[in-house]
């Protein structure tokens, strides 16, 4: 590729202007960039408590979510950096010079700034990718996430769905998205140049590609960390979708710092959160799992004789996952969860593990989206309003 972003570091006064120009060029999709063989910078990794109704539960925080911050320490960095054992550019997908999505624009409502930012569709994918997955992840995992993000927006635009005058919001209600200004301030110096280049490569090497099932873009759900398996869509939501089936995801336990978490509550708080009172909220709770899902999560549980779904317990208690165990103390209960997120679709940490094992973005996507195909978008999204 033609090198337009130079590695030489200019004086600081000139460097700031140079980086801003490079960012603007990247944002406009006007240049090609050279990609470092490895990107080793480490960003802070954060987990968000996502509203349960959303399809997308990302590994980095949402702007309107209750955020729990966790910095990526040296030990975590070994797990999420670009794995020296594998080549970052393992997967090669042929992209035509022109795709059906070229020229398509996306109108994003920036909730904090209360304004609409209109950008090329592939630029929107770049902003979503930066917001939804840690930049330290393997390139093939980032490419898989880029396809998932692109599939979402193509599906939404094709349906004619709108949010006021915008196509999407920049929050978890749709997909989290970093604007031009946010990307400009996210990293500094060489890390900024390397990370923007890596994002650009992930988007360019998948340009125009979406996941389809029977010729239609899929509901490309994703989440942070599995418990070892993904979930059938109907076991968390009501609608069964043939491409959202439970599959094994063994990489998460070894790699993800969020695979297991403990939460301790006073019994009085536990009963109150579960909506139990009177005799049903006396003494130590009697808890029994009555049914499990194919994804090894709790489908139904009884608490003092009252039945709850695993999802309901997760939502009421603000748990990371609907796969949990518990220990009851004298006046408290400690709940241990396994995995983070609803469990439906692509596990982000699982995708990173597959990439580190040498799998391509296409192989990752076809693993998590059963029976779906990676294809070029065949036609422009339909709009009901200009």
User: What distance separates the 2 farthest-apart alpha carbons in the chain?
Assistant: 73
Alpha-carbon dihedral sign for residues 58, 62, 65, 71: positive
What are the tens digits of pLDDT across the range 128-173?
Answer: 999 999 999 999 999 999 999 999 999 999 888 888 899 999 999 9
This prediction has a pTM of 0.78
Arithmetic mean of pLDDT over the chain = 80
Distance CA 88, CA 53 (A): 34
> Please, is 239 exposed, middle or buried when counting C-beta atoms within 10 Å of its C-beta (0-12, 13-18, 19+)?
exposed
How many Cβ atoms sit within 10 Å of the Cβ of residue 350? 30
> Please, is 174 exposed, middle or buried when counting C-beta atoms within 10 Å of its C-beta (0-12, 13-18, 19+)?
buried
How confident is residue 40, by pLDDT bands cut at 50, 70 and 90? very low
CB 381, CB 154: distance < 8 Å: yes
What are the tens digits of pLDDT across the range 204-242?
Answer: 999 999 999 999 999 999 999 999 999 999 999 989 999
| Domain range summary for the chain, segments of one domain joined by + | 12-254+343-376, 260-338
Outline where 49-179 has alpha helix (H). Answer: 74-80, 121-132, 139-159
Mean pLDDT of 302-317: 97
**Which is more confidently placed, 70 or 179?**
179
């Amino acid at each position: 590729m033609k090198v337009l972003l130079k590695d030489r570091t200019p004086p600081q006064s000139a460097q700031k202007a140079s980086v801003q120009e490079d960012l603007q060029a990247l944002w406009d999709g006007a240049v090609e960039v050279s990609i470092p063989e490895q990107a080793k910078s480490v960003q802070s990794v954060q987990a968000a408590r996502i509203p349960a109704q959303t399809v997308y539960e990302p590994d980095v925080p949402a702007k309107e979510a209750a955020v729990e911050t966790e910095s990526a320490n040296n030990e975590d960095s070994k797990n999420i950096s670009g794995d020296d054992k594998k080549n970052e550019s393992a997967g090669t997908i042929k992209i035509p010079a022109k795709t059906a999505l070229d020229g398509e624009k996306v109108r994003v409502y920036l909730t904090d700034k209360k304004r609409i930012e209109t950008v090329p569709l592939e630029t929107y994918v770049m902003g979503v990718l930066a917001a939804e997955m840690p930049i330290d992840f393997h390139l093939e995992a980032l490419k898989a996430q880029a396809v998932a993000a692109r599939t979402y927006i193509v599906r939404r635009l094709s349906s004619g769905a709108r949010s006021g005058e915008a196509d999407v919001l920049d929050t978890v209600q749709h997909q989290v998205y970093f604007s031009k200004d946010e990307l400009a301030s996210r990293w500094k110096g060489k890390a900024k140049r390397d990370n923007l280049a890596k994002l650009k490569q992930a988007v360019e090497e998948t340009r125009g590609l979406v996941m389809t099932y029977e010729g239609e873009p899929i509901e490309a759900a994703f989440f942070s960390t599995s418990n070892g398996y993904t979930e059938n869509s109907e076991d968390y939501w009501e609608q069964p979708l043939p491409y959202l089936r439970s599959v094994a995801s063994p990489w998460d336990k070894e790699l993800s710092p969020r695979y297991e978490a403990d939460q301790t509550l006073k019994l009085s708080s536990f009963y109150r959160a579960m909506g139990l009172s009177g005799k049903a909220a006396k003494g130590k709770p009697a808890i029994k799992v009555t049914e499990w899902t194919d994804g090894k999560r709790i489908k139904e549980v009884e608490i003092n004789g009252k039945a709850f779904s695993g999802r309901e317990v997760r939502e009421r208690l603000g748990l990371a996952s609907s796969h949990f165990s518990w220990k009851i103390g004298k006046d408290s209960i400690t709940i241990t969860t396994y995995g983070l997120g609803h469990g439906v679709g692509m596990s982000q940490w699982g995708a990173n593990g597959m990439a580190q094992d040498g799998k391509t973005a296409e192989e990752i996507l076809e693993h998590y989206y059963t029976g779906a195909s990676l294809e070029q978008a065949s036609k422009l999204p339909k709009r009901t309003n200009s």
